[in-house]
Amino acid sequence: MSFLCSACGNKTRFDVFETKRVRAFQHFDLGGGMNVEEEEVLQHSIERVVCRWCGSSEVSPAEAVASAGDEA
The model's pLDDT over 21-33, given as tens digits with 9 standing for 90+, comes to 999 999 999 999 9
Phi/psi of residue 20, nearest 5 degrees = -130, 140
The model's pLDDT over 41-51, given as tens digits with 9 standing for 90+, comes to 999 999 999 99
Structure pTM?
0.64
**pLDDT on residue 44:** 94
- Residue 7 pLDDT more than 70? yes
Cα 18 from Cα 47, distance rounded (Å): 5
Q: 25 near 38, Cβ under 8 Å?
A: yes
Domain ranges of the chain: 3-71
